[in-house]
Amino acid sequence: MQNHFLVHGKLVFRSYQLKLLALLGGLLILLMTTAPAWSESKPFMDPLIQASKARAELVQSVQQSVVHIKVEQKLVNVRGPFQNRPRQEGSGSGAIVRSDGYILTNHHVVGEADKITVQLYDGQELKAYLVGTDPATDISVIKIEGKNMPVLQMGDSDNILVGESVIAIGNPFGLSHTVTFGIVSAKGRTGMGIAEYEDFIQTDAAINPGNSGGPLVDLEGKIVGVNTAIFSRSGGYQGIGFAVPINMARRVMNELIENGQVSRGWLGVGIQDMTPELAKAFGLDQAKGSLVTGVMPGTPAEKAGLQKGDVILRLNGNTIENSNGLRNLVAEARADAKVDLDLVRNKVPMTLSVRLDERPKQPGQADVYSSTKSPSPELGFAVQELTPEMAQRLGYETTQSGIVITDVKPDSPSFNKGLRAGMMIVEMNRQSINSVADFQRAARDASTEDGILLLVSTPQGSQYLFLQAD
């Protein structure tokens, strides 16, 4: 469990909605009547009974394609009372997605396993092997030997609506083919810290340890999500579960089956979300889109002419709500794909075509240094020239020049907006800052009352900050 998240599972429903509505209406009528009237209103129970039976029949059909996954993994550097235990065991869930035995599940269920065993609905146990795994989305594919196996059809997660009924099927606590029922609580959940690429469906269908990798199905009996995690302070169900949308999982699954790995597109830019303050500073009506904070040399972005300060609003006609949305859309495109970016530069709309490249490995983290120099009363922070020794200590290039923040006054507008010692100031109000002299000239014309737009950089990337006095 990390950050109160337990990696787990879920499911969804759709075509019997009218029956379910009738069911709820019938219940309301019954609750409003007297006890004698209950027996006299038996015909009103018919829609309820029919809907209940239809759902039960659907569940029975779906269960045929849900499997219980058992894994074993060698223990490394084992200490304490379990030091003589050679392996650790775990379990999860999965769904058969092809009649020849391909199974969709989570990376955290099987990605590190040395031995995988699959238990079918009829109790039969079969050995499985790992076809491919993708930690970035927490999706894996395994395979068992078989023919004409019951397949769970895939739906369209883009079309599900908040409030739709969903069903989760899995093996919580080893209890095979457990079924829970709920609704879609939200869509597009990000920033959970569960996976690198996040676009989760949130559900209140009860999910517990062992549900991971199980299907979330709609009322047509089609997968709309792969149950992945729960939010819990106790380790058990608290009404908040998350599933990887099937449209994201399907693309990953197909690539794993075809190539054994996933190809992702890459722009080569630093980005951040727009805020109302940044939207105002960049002359935009809405705080939507993704703000480019830097362009790496030699990347597709640089070759296409993208610039720092561009605000990307659409990719191939798809609206960009935030930076996570842009990252997901770029990643979903293949490494050699050509995409059109609609953006705003200096308040002028334009379109750029970009040929994406293969996404490289992420750079490592670096420590942030702080000093004891006193901050400016007006701005709330102090700066100095970046020396080679400082650059080495902070994780910057030793040949890099510029100015670095040495101290930030606590509870100042700068501190509250995220400015910290160790950050480099690259721009102030769209003016390049290469020296303390540049900074002083720009600062003379700047005021926190009117607002100051800063572009700051760390070894991990760049971002814009808008400082304004309360």
Q: Are 199 and 131 in contact (CB under 8 A)?
A: no
Helix (H) or strand (E) holding 46: helix 45-63
Of residues 373, 375, 386, 450, the one with CA closest to residue 419: 375
Residues 330 and 321: their CA atoms lie apart, in Å, by 14
Tell me how crowded residue 239 is: count the other CB atoms within 10 A of its CB: 15
The tokens describing 315, both together, are 């990719």
Give me the amino acid identity at 195.
A
Of residues 447, 7, 6, 72, the one with CA closest to residue 213: 7
138 is catalytic: yes
401 is catalytic: no
Q: How would you classify the pairing of strands 165-170 and 115-119?
A: unpaired
Residues 355 and 338: their CA atoms lie apart, in Å, by 4
Q: Among residues 8, 93, 134, 138, which one is catalytic?
A: 138
* Dihedral angle computed from the Cα positions of residues 117, 119, 124 and 128, in that order, rounded to the nearest 10 degrees: -30
Q: Among residues 140, 157, 176, 212, which one is catalytic?
A: 212
Q: Are 413 and 449 in contact (CB under 8 A)?
A: no
Q: Among residues 91, 108, 176, 414, which one is catalytic?
A: 108
Q: How would you classify the pairing of strands 381-385 and 424-428?
A: unpaired
- Catalytic residue IDs: 108, 138, 212
